[in-house]
Amino acid sequence: MEIQKILKNRRLELGLTMREVANALGVSEGTVSRYESGEIQNMGIDKLETLAKILRCSPVYLMGFDPPVKSSDLLPNEAQILLLFRELNSDGQNKLIERAEELRDLGYIKGENVKMA
């Protein structure tokens, strides 16, 4: 799939407007429109990384190299998290993401022992 289609599809999946993406990215709504239409093809790496965070995916996925996860690829716990995530409104989804990042930053990483102070 072409990058501009991936951008638009992902934005729509998340229920975001072009204006919301533009504000978070620090560009005009017209710039986001030109990204999605393919008119702007050379996006800076800094914009790509930020856009991936806004669209809650990896830069590799946005570039079309990383296929989306299929439900058959999910472990039972991952599927449960996804279902819970989808039940939440956008504020709840953001809080869930923040909490997951906090746990990661505290050292709750697969294959690593958590060091307690």
Residue position matching structure tokens 């504000």 = 23
Q: What is the pLDDT of residue 30?
A: 95
Instruction: Report in angstroms the alpha-carbon separations of 22 from 19, 73, 97.
Output: 5, 32, 21
Helix (H) or strand (E) holding 27: none
d(CA 111, CA 87): 29
pLDDT by residue, tens only, the chain of 117 residues:
688 899 999 999 889 999 999 999 999 999 999 999 989 888 888 888 899 889 988 888 888 886 666 666 778 888 788 878 888 888 998 899 999 989 988 988 887 665 554
Looking at the chain, the number of H-run helices and the number of E-run strands are 7, 0
Instruction: Report in angstroms the alpha-carbon separations of 83 from 58, 64, 72, 80, 104.
Output: 20, 25, 14, 5, 20
Look up residue 116 and give its DSSP letter: P
